[in-house]
């Protein structure tokens, strides 16, 4: 067993060495990145980022946008309300189905218990009749001697 573990460890070490070696070999095969001219990059100034104003350019669009967002909010609230109502009705329907299934299973269990009890009573009657017959036969044998 120890030999099995040792061989497994050796195989893992060899696989790691192969993967590490292939990675190092792949890095050595890649061409060197081209040298960038530093003098040109330092001489040309970087373009300044465009400044965005904090206020929208059109002040009339703001109330319109607020109204649109409020309408969307109302629509979304209605959708959420409908989804909640649908979920609630689904849960109630599933609860009703579950209650019906439980009631049906309980009826089946009661029916099976009644059948079992009737079968036990019939078996007890057969056993009683059998032992009565055995007793009568035994008395007949005793009296015939």
- How do residues 15-42 score in pLDDT, each as one tens digit? 777 777 776 555 556 555 555 555 444 5
pLDDT tens-digit readout, 96-121: 999 999 999 999 999 999 999 999 99
pLDDT at residue 89, as a whole number: 95
Average pLDDT, integer, range 72-86 = 93
> What's the whole-model pTM score?
0.42
Q: Span 43-65, mean pLDDT?
A: 63
- Distance CA(24)–CA(16), nearest Å, equals 12
Q: Distance (Å, rounded) from C-alpha 69 to C-alpha 75? A: 10
pLDDT over 90 for what percent of the chain?
Answer: 53
| Mean of the per-residue pLDDT values of the chain | 81
Q: Token pair of 77, please?
A: 């609230």
How far apart are alpha carbons 89 and 81 in whole angstroms? Answer: 12
Secondary structure letter of residue 57 according to DSSP: S
Round to whole Å and give the CA distance between 55 and 62.
Answer: 10
How far apart CA 73 and CA 64 sit, in angstroms, is 14
Q: Kindly indicate the confidence band of residue 78, based on its pLDDT and cuts at 50, 70 and 90.
A: very high
């Amino acid at each position: 067993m120890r030999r099995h573990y040792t061989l497994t460890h050796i195989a893992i070490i060899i696989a790691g060495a192969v993967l590490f070696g292939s990675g190092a070999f792949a890095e050595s095969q890649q061409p060197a990145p081209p040298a960038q001219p530093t003098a040109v990059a330092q001489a040309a100034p970087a373009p300044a980022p465009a400044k965005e104003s904090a206020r929208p350019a059109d002040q009339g669009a703001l109330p319109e946008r607020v109204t649109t967002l409020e309408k969307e909010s109302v629509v979304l609230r209605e959708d959420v309300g409908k989804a909640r109502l649908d979920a609630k009705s689904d849960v109630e329907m599933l609860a009703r189905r579950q209650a019906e299934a439980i009631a049906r299973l309980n009826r089946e269990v009661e029916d099976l218990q009644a059948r079992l009890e009737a079968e036990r009573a019939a078996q007890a009657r057969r056993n009683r009749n059998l032992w009565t017959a055995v007793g009568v036969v035994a008395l007949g044998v005793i009296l015939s001697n």
